Amino acid sequence: MSDQADKAGTTVAKPPPWNDPFVRSIFFQVVAIGLLGYFFYSIFDNTLSNMAKSGVSTGFAFLTREAGFGILMSLIEYDETHTYGRTFFVGLLNTAIVAFCGIILATILGFVIGIARLSNNWLVSKLATVYIEIIRNIPLLLQIIFWSVAVLQALPDPQNSIKYGESFFLNNRGLFLPKPIFEDGFGLVTIAFLVAIAAIVYIKRWARQRQEQSGDQFPVFLTSVALITGLPLLVFLAMGMPISWEYSALERFSFVGGSNIIPEFMALLWALTMYTAAFIAEIVRSGIQAVSHGQTEAARALGLRNGPTLRLVIIPQAMRVIIPPLTSQYLNLTKNSSLATAIGYPDLVSVFMGTTLNQTGQAVEIVAMTMAVYLTFSLGISAIMNWYNKRVALVER
Amino acid sequence: MKGPVVIVIAVIAALVGYFAAGAINKPAEMKAAAPAAKKAEPAKASGGTLAAVKAKGVLSCGVSTGLPGFSAPDKSNKWSGLDVDVCRAVAAAVLGSADKVKFTPLTAKERFTALQSGEIDILSRNTTWTHTRDTSLGLNFAGVSYYDGQGFMVSTKLGVKSAKELSGAAVCIQAGTTTELNLADYFRFNNLKYKSVVFDTSDQSVKGFESGRCDVLTSDQSQLYALRTKLADPTKAVVLPEIISKEPLGPVVRQGDDQWFNIVKWTLNALINAEELGINAGNVASMKSSKNPSVQRVLGTASDMGKKLGLGNDWAANAIGQVGNYSEIFERNVGKGTPLNIARGVNALWSKGGIMYAPPIR
């Protein structure tokens, strides 16, 4: 009824189009989008025509040309004969690996220090406070350079390496480790590992259902550890240990063969981890303190011990406060990894926006591609963290 | 209520109409007036660099971040070096005073973008003239001020005598240089393995070499001698005899301004011609009364070579008088009396066994 009345009302007093709020709002939005589009179009067009006028080459054809320069560290196969496009992926992966390792290590270190700061032990809590206040108040670039210089200066040259057994060597060219070479049959070990993970997921679900029905608890954690180490190990032994190691050997200048973790990577990862962990520690502390003390008391009243209180009551509630600022720390770490160029770590900025840009001179395309990578990384991390945030958010019943 | 809204709509409609009409009718004008003023600047500067420099009263010159002998700030914080003197000569020719130069230190990575975007008027920064740079960067090389070649410096204790022994070595190198490519070519061609550790500035690459991160430092050979003087103990390093590439270094200008290109090119030529004709900073005044027609043309006492460049006829006299001829510049900055102690070698005049040759001023 009321709908009809409304319709009837509008038909009676239909305003002229320029006074119709609906038409008007559409009009303004179209105009706004048009102006914005024109603005970007004109910047784009202006850039292109100016570059053409001053004889600068444009386009993405350079990506298929041979690069002709070497890169210190590459996760994929690369040598001078590969293309500029390949250098993009080499740099991208080098950035990704340092960001990925950094996020994991910073999270672990940050949680440990954040909890330590809340410790009842005076010494532990003061040490954590001192760490946080020193590390987060010194610019990151200085810290990266400091660790790079400290690491490089402190380590001996390859001839006088620090040895750990006969296969691990540490010197100013980095850490040299034996490189695993997988032989036939190792695929089964991988399969066993995957089977163990699937089994753990299943057992966890089953144990939970059982506990909800009967109240009996099942030692999920211990079973999981046993499964994930035991099953692949059994298969590994059964297949006759299908793995061999390639060892590093000292030649005239340095070690050859095996795996090598370059010192620039260690310095950058260490600095990024230390720096970000200081911020994460504060976030963790604030998250835990945001859970009121009444929650602890309630848990105690239910008869929960210290461990389960923290694990089942405090942390889940603290996570709601921790996750959003933690996400931005992850984003910061990823973007800060571009400071690598200062110490010669071949990340995306150093390789692609440095050498490749200089050899080809195509600044606009290369800078745009580099920005797109960081944007994609950041949006990806955000998406994952938002999904996780939704999972841990308080579900009110 | 109605009034203002109608006015706003009318204004927006008028704006849209104006831009739309502009886009259709006068695309050329629009580009000049488009909002990206920063990008429009180099276009405006093309053809007008001389006028712009005269209006500013100072020449913007891009130099290195510190390379002894070529461009480095001295104790009193004044820039000196061979590349610096080329800029000073151009400033003397254009503005009448060699001191009217603003030096902008640039890393190898930054240099071409700085020139393309109009931040500097001339790039004089031990830059190698190559096909790719000349043809695809929108730049012109205005001649050669120093003939160089790439070499290697190694630590004495390794006992290396030849670059062919360097297989497996870690090599420190500066980012964005032709050396990066030459190195890869040389090692690949000779079936040698290497690891390149890339730094932003030459200072950092020297530090890397000194701290033992690399076994080898590679760069243009002149730079190696310069960088060797910077080491805490120069006797601990030795420069290998091999030269693996041609590195003609010279000043660079933006493409599309032929007048400015000519000014830089002929100022450099004038310095080299002056050495050949025996004109130097000390005798430039007395040489003005010389009977030699070649000298008269250079110094502007006969004919009007300066006018053809859009400058005063005393352009070359100013440059030579205030900065010196090529020989004086070379000896003062990198020659026998300096820490670099580089012999003229291929940089001697063509008439004295080298390849330094400038077209005649006539």
Cα–Cα distance for residue pair B167/B150, rounded to 1 Å: 17
Phi, psi of A282 (to 5 degrees): -65, -40
Which token pair is A330?
């992850």
Cα–Cα distance for residue pair B338/B331, rounded to 1 Å: 8
Q: Measure in Å the smallest separation between the Cα of B61 and chain A Cα atoms.
A: 20
pTM of the prediction?
Answer: 0.77
Question: Of the candidates A35, A148, A261, A126, which has an alpha carbon nearest to the alpha carbon of residue B199?
Answer: A148
For residue A275, the number of C-alpha atoms closer than 13 Å in the C-beta half-sphere is 26
Q: Which of B168, B181, B197 sits opposite A344 (nearest CB)?
A: B197
Which token pair is B339?
């820490």
| Interchain contact B194–A (C-beta under 8 A) | yes
| A residues 159..188 contacting B (CB < 8 A) | 172-173
Which token pair is B343?
């012999």
Strands in B169-174's sheet, in edge-to-edge order, are: B194-199, B169-174, B216-220, B150-155, B237-239
| Interchain contact A230–B (C-beta under 8 A) | no
What was the ipTM of the complex prediction? 0.73
- Of residues A91 and B212, the one with the higher pLDDT is A91
DSSP designation for A395: -
Beta bridge partners of A181: A244
Q: Measure in Å the smallest separation between the Cα of B256 and chain A Cα atoms.
A: 6
| Interchain contact A49–B (C-beta under 8 A) | yes
The type of residue at A29 is Q
Mutate which of B135, B185, B197, B214 to disrupt the A interface (most A C-beta within 10 Å)? Answer: B197
Cα angle: B43, vertex B44, B48; to 5 degrees: 115
CB contact under 8 A, B177 and A358: yes
DSSP designation for A72: S
Predicted pLDDT at B136: 86
- Read off the pLDDT of residues A332-357 as tens digits, 9 standing for 90 and up: 999 999 998 888 899 999 899 888 88
Average pLDDT, chain A: 88
Residue recorded with tokens 């008391």: A297
Which token pair is A90?
């080499």
CB contact under 8 A, B138 and A54: yes
Q: How far is CA A276 from CA A142, B188, B282, B331, in A?
A: 14, 41, 63, 53
CB of B64 closer than 8 Å to CB of A72:
no
| Interchain contact B256–A (C-beta under 8 A) | yes
- Of residues B22 and A188, the one with the higher pLDDT is A188
- Of residues B81 and A254, the one with the higher pLDDT is B81
Average pLDDT over residues A273-302: 94
Q: Out of A86-95, A366-375, B21-30, B160-169, which region has the weakest mean confidence (pLDDT)?
A: B21-30
Predicted pLDDT at B9: 52
In DSSP notation, A190-249 reads HHHHHHHHHHHHHHHHHHHHHHHHH-----HHHHHHHHHHHHHHHHHHHTT--EEEEPPE
Burial (CB count within 10 angstroms: exposed 0-12, middle 13-18, buried 19+), residue A366: buried
The type of residue at A51 is M
Which token pair is A364?
């606009």
- Read off the pLDDT of residues A119-143 as tens digits, 9 standing for 90 and up: 889 999 999 999 999 999 999 999 9
Question: Of the candidates A220, A198, A197, which has an alpha carbon nearest to the alpha carbon of residue A207?
Answer: A220
| Interchain contact B195–A (C-beta under 8 A) | yes
CB contact under 8 A, B211 and A54: no
Cα–Cα distance for residue pair B197/A340, rounded to 1 Å: 12
Q: What share of chain B is helix, strand, coil (3-state, %, to 5)?
A: 50, 15, 35
The type of residue at A182 is F
CB of B332 closer than 8 Å to CB of B274:
no
Q: Does position A75 have pLDDT exceeding 60, yes or no?
A: yes
Looking at domain A87-178+260-358+367-392, what is its CATH homologous superfamily? MetI-like (1.10.3720.10)
CB contact under 8 A, A53 and B46: yes
Predicted pLDDT at A122: 95
Domain positions in chain A: 2-53, 87-178+260-358+367-392, 181-246
In DSSP notation, B73-121 reads E-TTS-EESHHHHHHHHHHHHHHS-TT-EEEEE--TTTHHHHHHTTS-S
Predicted pLDDT at A374: 94
Cα–Cα distance for residue pair B317/B326, rounded to 1 Å: 13
Highest mean pLDDT among A84-98, A218-232, A254-268, B328-342: A84-98
Mutate which of A47, A248, A256, A358 to disrupt the B interface (most B C-beta within 10 Å)? Answer: A358
Question: Of the candidates B267, B298, B260, B226, which has an alpha carbon nearest to the alpha carbon of residue B87?
Answer: B267
Q: Does position A105 have pLDDT exceeding 60, yes or no?
A: yes
Q: Which of B199, B211, B256 sits opposite A153 (nearest CB)?
A: B211
- Of residues B16 and A75, the one with the higher pLDDT is A75
In DSSP notation, B179-199 reads HHHHHHHHHHHTT--EEEEEE
- Read off the pLDDT of residues A6-28 as tens digits, 9 standing for 90 and up: 554 455 677 888 888 888 899 99
Cα–Cα distance for residue pair B320/B316, rounded to 1 Å: 6
* In chain B, beta strands by DSSP E: 59-63, 72-73, 79-80, 101-105, 122-123, 139-141, 146-148, 150-155, 169-174, 194-199, 216-220, 237-239, 247-249, 252-254
| Interchain contact A53–B (C-beta under 8 A) | yes
Q: Which of B31, B137, B188 sits opposite A56 (nearest CB)?
A: B137
Cα–Cα distance for residue pair A358/A19, rounded to 1 Å: 57
End-to-end CA distance of chain B: 77
Per-residue pLDDT of chain B (362 residues; tens, 9 = 90+): 445 555 555 555 555 545 444 444 433 433 444 444 444 344 334 468 999 999 999 999 999 988 889 999 988 889 999 999 999 999 999 999 999 999 999 988 889 989 988 999 999 999 999 998 998 888 999 999 999 999 999 988 888 888 888 888 899 998 878 888 889 889 988 988 888 888 888 888 888 888 888 899 999 888 888 788 878 888 888 888 888 999 999 999 999 899 999 999 999 999 999 999 999 999 999 999 999 999 999 999 888 899 999 999 999 999 999 999 999 999 999 998 888 888 898 999 999 999 999 999 98
Predicted pLDDT at A12: 63
* In chain A, beta strands by DSSP E: 162-164, 168-171, 174-177, 179-182, 243-246, 249-250, 255-256, 259-261
Q: Measure in Å the smallest separation between the Cα of A350 and chain B Cα atoms.
A: 8
Q: Which of A39, A54, A354 sits opposite B35 (nearest CB)?
A: A39
CB of A171 closer than 8 Å to CB of A163:
no
Strands B150-155 and B169-174: unpaired
Average pLDDT over residues A249-268: 86
Q: Measure in Å the smallest separation between the Cα of A296 and chain B Cα atoms.
A: 54
DSSP designation for B167: T
* Residues whose CB is less than 8 angstroms from the CB of residue B148 and which lie 6 or more positions away in sequence, other chains included: B126, B128, B220, B221, B222, B223, B247, B248, B249
Which token pair is A170?
């540490």
